[in-house]
Amino acid sequence: MLFLFPGRSFLMRRWFAGFLAALILIGPVLSLGAGAAEIGHSLDSAAVPETTAETTEASTEATVEAILSVPEGVTAPTEKTADPTETAGTTAPTTETTSVEAVPPTVGTTPTQTVPETVAETEPETHPAAEAAETQSPTEETSEETTEETQPAEEEPPKKSLWETIQAFLGLMEEGGTLESMSLSDAQGNTLALTPEFQPNCHTYGVQVPADGELTLTMVPGTDYQISVNGTVLEENQYTFTPQWDSQGLYQLELQLFGKGLYDEDSYTLSLVLTPTAQSIEITQLPEKTEYQSGEAFDPTGLEVKVTLTDGTTLVPRIEELTFSPSGELTAADTAVTVQYEDVTAQIEVQVSGLKGTGTKNDPYLLETQEDLFLLDEWVTAGEDQSGVYFQLTQDIEITEPWDGIGDEEHPFSGDLSGKPKGSNTIYQITIPEGGKALFSRTREATIRNLKVYGPRIEDYGLVSHYVVDYDTKLYVKFQNVTLVSGTKTLYSGFIGGYASGQDEVQIIRCTIEPGVVIGYDGSQSHIGSFGGEFNGSIKDSTSAATVYGQDWVGGLVGNKGQSMGDFIVTGSSFTGTVSATGKCVGGIVGGGYAGTNWGLETAPNTRGVVIKDCTSSGSISGKIGVGGIFGAENCAQQFWDNGICEIQNNKFTGSVQGSKFVGGVIGFMQSLNKDASISNNYYKNAAKGIGAVAHVDTSALSSGFHGDTYYYNTAKYVSDGKGGVESYVDKINCVPLKLYIDLPTIGTAAEGVNRAVSKPALNRTDDPLGADAGNLCYTDGVTEKRVTKLEISGSYKTKYIEGEALDLTGLTLTAIWSTGETTQVDLDDVTVSGFDTNTPDTQTVTLTYKGVDARFTVTVTPESKDITVYITVLGDSKHGDNGSIHGLAMGGLTTWIGRTRITAKTTDTVWDVLKPLLDEKGYTYSASDNNQYGTVYIASINGLGEFTNGPNSGWMYTFNGTHPNRGVSAVYLKDKAEIILHYTDDYTYEEGGNNYGKPLDTEDAAKEVIALIKKIGNVTYTDACKHRIDDARKAYDALTDEEKRLV
């Protein structure tokens, strides 16, 4: 048996070699009692056996067993090896306890050998008591008989062998080993961990090898040392080999280092264990339970998985060997549990309702506590879809924790929430804490019904915080039988507000705002009303007794119409409270029409009008300019078209109305009146007149020019171009300076061409709405003459025509309803008919007028079918945002998405009939729908590039033979050789037909836009709305050049 000194070769070591060799030889014959025994034991333990096939395997297995059997971080005693020569009753010497970092056990590998512990050599502590113990005679030791239970003995300092004492004395342990570094890596260059980590004075290591294959051992020895591995002398300090594993997956490397001196030798041992790791995991059997209530922990009972290892074998681990995430309580946001074995994972889908019920209409999820509301919030915020899912309160719920609404701006609520249990007449209430936000952050196709809401001070809208553009829906939210309870105060409108697309419809049906509710409690808000601020949609059979405070566009029920071409309908509703405003556009039912938000009033001269029918207002209404008992002001529309008729009919005002300019019992101010401003049978009292003022009127009843302060003209004198426009005209109407106005001092901004505000022919009235026929629009006490209040159309009549056919009213019956309650059938010879043009293929609205009251029906004129050829080009843009760079058809900067393509079609096809198949063929994705107020296809986005992507004026447009039609792509019929260009624009106002068409994109225009955004900020308040306005202004300002910033 050969004994080798660990450590480097030093002068002292060589000097002492002879002495130690002599000591080893005479050790067995010394009469040192226990000390002699310890010397013999110590030397036996330190000896390195000669390497043979048998000893290598046994030694390897022994070392690996020690590595695998000691848990990581546990201090393990070295094994005691009994000396067969010891007699009974002799106390065996013990060795020092050393901390070992062990390799974690691997499932499926169970070595059975018992082997010595792998121990790192460290410097032993020298202690006087220990040195004394080394020389103690065995006869002097105290021993006790072994019993069933061993009594704990007083702890003594650890004993050192004579060999350890000699080493400590000479400092040999501090010299370290002759190897300065050592590492093992696989064929892919991945380093395999040594256990323990390499230290020069540690000579025995274990390594777990995850897969069979070539390995490389890299070593850095001391100066002038040569290395051999398993008897092979290395020319370099690197050894590449493929382990020859034994039946137990074990392999051992023996390293020998040789220096120049006689005793300059050292050795290291690496014991390798083939321990395949997990490569994949498969769920072979689901657990028994996959549906949970919120707060329950995952139960893996019944779960079975199969793990495939890197060597191709498989195993089925026990449940205890798996980990699960989340490991604690499940929440409504959890949709799956992750199962992990080693580094591989699989997922088990789970359903965590957190609420009682199943979410169906007959078994809704029950909301019993505020915790349930927070669970619902978690569910929505996590992005879970609630479409078709029902929720129901079981009692009043008071929220006492900070509240920011159900969902968030990116994750809308899309379910159905009711405060009334099925079969019950009780409607439950949700109380929002003081300073809280709206009940919902955002909605999409949601229904909120049979609910009461109370909040002592809601720093937001009352029910929905974010009313924003959403092309994924038509219905934004429906409120039905929802009540804002007395004592509630909201910073903004009571239900909802914001700026959205015209297709984002809000429905309010049979809703109530009680007396004692305060809307706009700080008095500094604009676009505000009891139910809505900027609003698209309808309000029906609803009432408010609130006190509403604000500045501009303030209404008893609604602040103003939202998007320029969106629906805006209020019917059968009432206001009995107080409106107190400090600015313009203030009304008892509605404050104003389209307000030009984000775009400017001048950009929408043909905005759709408001519809207000069968409403009553008995409240106190006060403002400054454009104040009306029913409707404050329409200060935008220069010419109403038949796709957006303004209807203010059969309303009643009996309250008080006050203002400094343009005040009326029904309407404060109208920018224009034509035949598509259908105003009739509105009663008022306590006011000097029904309509405060009108800027200009299109009628054939009076001569053109100013009559009083109102300008009159007649579009019947226009000559049609057959395309819905004007070929020539007699009166110079556009750009005429006005005497009466709130914001727009002229009739549009272009005197001629496609940019004219008044551009359609034959939209004139035939009456004098402010003179002889004013009583048909609005009337007050003292009027005894009976009036027609309504016309009704019935019967079976023709509605489909071929181009060139004359209008045929055969079979149509027109019935007049009078103020006395009687009804009469109207002779059609006494009716004025307008709106039909047989030479213009289109969907047309035909108007029948009798005694100042209108009735309308729709007809379709189609071309005669012929084969034709058309050409289509599609031009797109990048998503660069509102960065100050403006691209468009007129401005340039677009890229060709689809080059000019020849298509065979028919004259009965529309633009959309040929455009849609082309987009499909070329693989473009798009959002386009005719489910809107226009009844024609609106293209919202193509390949993710949509309206507002590159700024507030950006979106998709199309030209037909060089001009932008004012109708949708499914409303324009094709013509032979037509050139169609579908294009994106960053700012439609600079395109043909826009107000800025032909103008340079100069610094002054850019600066003016930023200045307008800054002015919109208004009084700075700590609100989200104010922050958004500031952010918009800052973003626009940052995009300016230095010169543009100087102008700002």
Q: Are strands 842-850 and 832-834 parallel, antiparallel or unpaired?
A: antiparallel
Whether residues 163 and 288 fall in one domain? no
Cβ neighbours for 538, distance < 8 A, ≥ 6 positions apart? 505, 506, 507, 508, 567, 568, 569, 570, 571
Residue that terminates a domain, selected from 779, 809, 833: 779
Q: Tell me which residue has tokens 């022994």.
A: 62
Beta-sheet strands, E only, within 578-666: 578-581, 584-587, 590-592, 611-613, 616-617, 620-622, 625-628, 631-634, 646-649, 652-653, 656-658, 661-664
The C-alpha atoms of residue 902 and residue 881 are separated, in whole angstroms, by 33
Question: Could you tell me the pLDDT band of residue 151, with boundaries at 50, 70 and 90?
Answer: very low
- Structural domain including 734 reads 467-779
Whether residues 540 and 670 fall in one domain? yes
- As a whole-number percent, the residues of the chain with pLDDT over 70 amount to 77
Residue that terminates a domain, selected from 838, 862, 886: 862
Mean pLDDT over residues 750-769, rounded? 83
Residue 901 in any domain: the answer is yes
What is the number of other CB atoms lying within 10 angstroms of the CB of residue 731? Answer: 15
For the beta sheet containing 895-906, the strands, ordered from the edge strand earlier in sequence to the opposite edge, are 895-906, 867-876, 979-985, 955-960
Please give the pLDDT value at position 330: 83
Please give the pLDDT value at position 91: 39
Residue 265 in any domain: the answer is no
Torsion angles phi and psi, residue 583, rounded to 5: -130, -140
Question: Could you tell me the pLDDT band of residue 88, with boundaries at 50, 70 and 90?
Answer: very low
Whether residues 653 and 716 fall in one domain? yes
698: which 2 tokens? 């299109």
- As a whole-number percent, the residues of the chain with pLDDT over 90 amount to 54
Beta-sheet strands, E only, within 69-146: 75-76, 98-99
The C-alpha atoms of residue 399 and residue 229 are separated, in whole angstroms, by 74
Whether the per-residue pLDDT at 108 is higher than 60: the answer is no
By three-state DSSP, how is residue 1007 classified?
A: helix
Over residues 973-1004, the pLDDT tens digits come to 999 999 999 999 999 888 887 767 877 775 55
Whether the per-residue pLDDT at 597 is higher than 90: the answer is no
Whether residues 773 and 902 fall in one domain? no
By three-state DSSP, how is residue 320 classified?
A: helix
Q: What CATH number did the domain enclosing 833 receive? A: 2.60.40.3630
Whether residues 875 and 886 fall in one domain? yes
Whether residues 693 and 732 fall in one domain? yes
Residue that terminates a domain, selected from 761, 779, 797: 779
Residue 218 in any domain: the answer is no
Residue 255 in any domain: the answer is no
Please give the pLDDT value at position 931: 67
Residue 214 in any domain: the answer is no
Whether residues 853 and 890 fall in one domain? no
The C-alpha atoms of residue 699 and residue 701 are separated, in whole angstroms, by 5
Whether residues 517 and 616 fall in one domain? yes
Range with the poorest average pLDDT among 733-747, 799-813, 1012-1026: 1012-1026
Over residues 685-741, the pLDDT tens digits come to 999 999 999 999 999 999 999 999 999 999 987 766 655 556 666 667 888 999 999
Peptide bond before residue 77 is cis, with ω within 30 degrees of 0: no
Give the bridge partners for 352, in sequence order: 292
pTM, rounded to two decimals: 0.63
Range with the poorest average pLDDT among 75-79, 209-213, 247-251, 432-436: 75-79
Question: Could you tell me the pLDDT band of residue 1047, with boundaries at 50, 70 and 90?
Answer: low
The angle that helices 1003-1017 and 1024-1038 make with each other, rounded to 10 degrees, is: 160
Please give the pLDDT value at position 505: 92
Residue 561 in any domain: the answer is yes
Mean pLDDT of the chain: 81
Residue 193 in any domain: the answer is no
The C-alpha atoms of residue 537 and residue 502 are separated, in whole angstroms, by 8
Over residues 401-460, the pLDDT tens digits come to 999 999 999 999 999 999 999 889 999 999 999 999 999 999 999 999 999 999 999 999
Whether residues 1010 and 952 fall in one domain? no
In a 10 Å sphere around its CB, with 0-12 CB exposed, 13-18 middle and 19+ buried, how is residue 29 labelled?
Answer: exposed
Instruction: Give residue 919's region: left, alpha or beta (phi > 0; psi -120 to 50).
Output: alpha
Cβ neighbours for 698, distance < 8 A, ≥ 6 positions apart? 639, 672, 673, 674, 675, 712, 713, 714, 715, 758, 763, 764, 765
724: which 2 tokens? 């819905």
Whether residues 929 and 1033 fall in one domain? no
Question: Could you tell me the pLDDT band of residue 1025, with boundaries at 50, 70 and 90?
Answer: low
Residue 390 in any domain: the answer is no
1013: which 2 tokens? 């955004």
Q: Are strands 194-195 and 204-209 parallel, antiparallel or unpaired?
A: antiparallel
Question: Could you tell me the pLDDT band of residue 157, with boundaries at 50, 70 and 90?
Answer: low
Query: Of the segments 64-73, 714-723, 745-754, 851-860, which one has the largest average pLDDT value?
Result: 851-860
Count of the separate structural domains present in the chain: 6
Over residues 66-83, the pLDDT tens digits come to 434 443 433 333 333 344
Whether the per-residue pLDDT at 276 is higher than 90: the answer is no
Higher pLDDT, 603 or 29: 603
Q: What CATH number did the domain enclosing 908 receive? A: 2.170.130.30
1012: which 2 tokens? 């307008």
Q: Are strands 955-960 and 979-985 parallel, antiparallel or unpaired?
A: antiparallel
Higher pLDDT, 916 or 169: 916
Whether residues 612 and 506 fall in one domain? yes
Whether residues 829 and 793 fall in one domain? yes
The angle that helices 162-170 and 11-26 make with each other, rounded to 10 degrees, is: 160
